[in-house]
Structure 1
Amino acid sequence: MNQDTRDAFATEFDVSRETLAKLDRYAELLTEWQQRMNLVGPSTLPHIWDRHFRDSAQLLAIAGPGKSWLDIGAGGGFPGLVLAILDPESNITLVESITKKCRFLDTVAHETDTAGHVAVANVRVEALTGSKYDIITARAAASLETLFDWGLRFAGSGTRWILPKGARVQEELASAAKQFHFAHELIPSRTDSDARIVVAKGVKRR
């Protein structure tokens, strides 16, 4: 573990010692389970505090605390589980179709004492049932237009979509605009100078 990166994370996001201990446990579990399944890109594992924890945590500053989140294609738990650890007032639904990844998500939720406000849904998002959410997010799960298509029935009039995107964000926005009306802003990522976070609202089909 890179102690300097961990300490910088704690300072940047004003993280308590107790919360930092939960993230330490998450990092331990991720490293352990990664040996059995592909949860993150192997090359990113040594850089977990910056590439995964910090990349996820920056979304909380945009959304604000105490929100209900839908995390589509949760995979190794980013951003949803990090947000759950940092914000105990939130309610997070993690959607993941691969059963063994859901076992990992459940394990982390229980061992970091966040299971009370985290729901792990072991289904494809197309089969998910449920209500509206304050925030819909996804990290490297699908294109913008696909995420809008999947998530639209969970979006109310005030729902915001907070979606980290890479260098091709403008292409994705242009493609999505052919099928959907939406307002958006782009926020620079703290972890990748080429990346942007799309914050969209008012998403409707054309």
Structure 2
Amino acid sequence: MADPWDGDPRLPVFFGDAWPAVEAFHAFLADEGELRGLVGPREVARLWERHLLNSAAVVPFLPEDGLIVDVGSGAGLPGVVIAAMRPRAQVMLVEPMERRVTWLLDVVERTGLANVEVRRARAQELDGAVVADVVTARAVASLDKLYRWTTPLVRQGGSVLAMKGARAEEELAAAAGVMRSLGLVDGRVHEVTTIAGTEPTRVVSAVRGRGARVR
């Protein structure tokens, strides 16, 4: 089954200078993603809207440069899309599973992205080793767990951006106590539409307060 977005002229316009890398990433996912266990068989026909455009929804909340750490990168979503759309930033893709790390290294080679580092680790293992401007995560864990794992990796004044589903508001409310204990402030849910006709993506943002100490 073909992806209805294939060949849509709005895609290269939307991605702009990132288009060659994003298009190469899409082609690699379509060709080998299912075979290598990165995406399910039903996902191949909806890679653009459900995965690549969905991943791009987080980009407006990111700085142009600095260190962006994507935890639980898996197939490279959203990390590879971020790296393509934020070429001046350094993007670290953090993934604990060896076969996925191998895939991510292959993606970097295939796309030619020069601003990507692939690190085999769990987020918790990088405490003290990484100071990021932003940490991103997509479909990794509930917000309370995610915040415990990722807040130590973010500089004071930096942010954690989590891509969530329809229950984002509920998750954010449930994580309020954890946020207070970690010094995370200004938790918000943003609904983002990338191209007209796509389903909105929910991006949950939180900021590590200045002077906060992770306990």
Q: TM-score range by the shorter chain?
A: 0.7 to 0.9
Per-residue CA deviations over 1:183-206 (Å, capped at 9, x if unaligned) read 12221032434x521111136668
Q: Secondary structure at the match of 1:11?
A: helix
Q: Report the equivalent of 1:9.
A: 11
Counterpart Cα distance in 1 of 2:190 and 2:133? 19
> Higher helix fraction: Structure 1 or Structure 2?
1
Counterpart Cα distance in 2 of 1:72 and 1:89? 19
Per-residue CA deviations over 1:97-138 (Å, capped at 9, x if unaligned) read 111111111111112111x32111112222225221111110
1:192 to 171, 183, 199: 199
- Amino acid paired to 2:206: A
Aligned pairs for 1:114-193 (under 5 A) are 114=113, 116-128=114-126, 130-181=129-180, 182-190=185-193, 191-193=198-200
Distance 1:81 1:6, change over 3 A: farther
Is the 1:65–1:87 contact (alpha carbons within 8 Å) kept by the matching residues of 2? yes
Counterpart Cα distance in 2 of 1:3 and 1:155? 36
Counterpart Cα distance in 2 of 1:106 and 1:4? 25
> How far off its partner does 1:95 sit?
0.9
Can you give the 5+ residue segments of structure 1 that lack an aligned partner in the other structure? none
Q: Secondary structure at the match of 2:130?
A: coil
Aligned pairs for 1:62-81 (under 5 A) are 62-81=61-80
Count of aligned positions: 201
Aligned pairs for 1:87-126 (under 5 A) are 87-114=86-113, 116-126=114-124
Q: Secondary structure at the match of 2:43?
A: helix
My pick for the range that moved more, 195-204 or 176-185, is 195-204
Distance 1:123 1:4, change over 3 A: closer
Q: Report the equivalent of 2:32.
A: 33
Counterpart Cα distance in 1 of 2:29 and 2:142? 26
Counterpart Cα distance in 2 of 1:100 and 1:6? 32
Per-residue CA deviations over 1:9-65 (Å, capped at 9, x if unaligned) read 22234x13xx32322221222123223332124322212122111111121112232
Can you give the 5+ residue segments of structure 2 that lack an aligned partner in the other structure? none
Superposition TM-score, scaled by structure 1 size: 0.87
Is the 2:159–2:207 contact (alpha carbons within 8 Å) kept by the matching residues of 1? yes
Counterpart Cα distance in 1 of 2:71 and 2:130? 14
Counterpart Cα distance in 2 of 1:25 and 1:179? 39
CA RMSD of aligned residues (A): 2.1
Counterpart Cα distance in 1 of 2:165 and 2:5? 27
- Amino acid paired to 1:7: P
